[in-house]
Structure 1
Amino acid sequence: MLAKIVEHYRAGDPVDDPEVLRTARRLVGVGETFAAGDREILRSMGAFFRQNGRGVLRDVLPGQPVDDLGDGLWDYLSRMYAAISPE
């Protein structure tokens, strides 16, 4: 799923694109399942990825460059989440 998010990010896909929204909903579903709805766990996961994301992405995307995937990607993820969150 992270590979798909990186693909959307690199393509400059808007977060309200239907495919991006589907990906965001899948990601949230996985996070909710993993964290059993515990918001503190979800916040910790977000902080972990912001701090260690490049290492994780190197494992998920072997052989692909990840140096361009810094805070911009995590900001994109935040905007994806906001796009599917109720006001």
Structure 2
Amino acid sequence: MQAALDEARLGLAEGGIPIGSVIVHGGRIIGRGHNRRVQQGSAICHGEMDALENAGPHLPRGGALHHPVALRHVQRRHPRGW
């Protein structure tokens, strides 16, 4: 979860939406990314898509995606941290 929060903060620092995502397999992060919709002017550059793209050929079956819904919850509870 910390890696997803770090990605969300990167997105915010770039002037974008603070949503991060990581792909975990076997307890190891194989892909990470953040929302780039604002930065790239795209409707589809979500954090999940960025993480999937960054996982590249390492993407196996059975991984787990840490979904940004939890990050929105953290953001609402701790708005000063963003």
| Shorter-chain TM band | 0.3 to 0.5
* Larger RCO, structure (CA 8 Å, separation 6 or more): 1
TM-score normalised to structure 2 length: 0.36
Higher helix share: 1
TM-score normalised to structure 1 length: 0.35
Higher strand share: 2
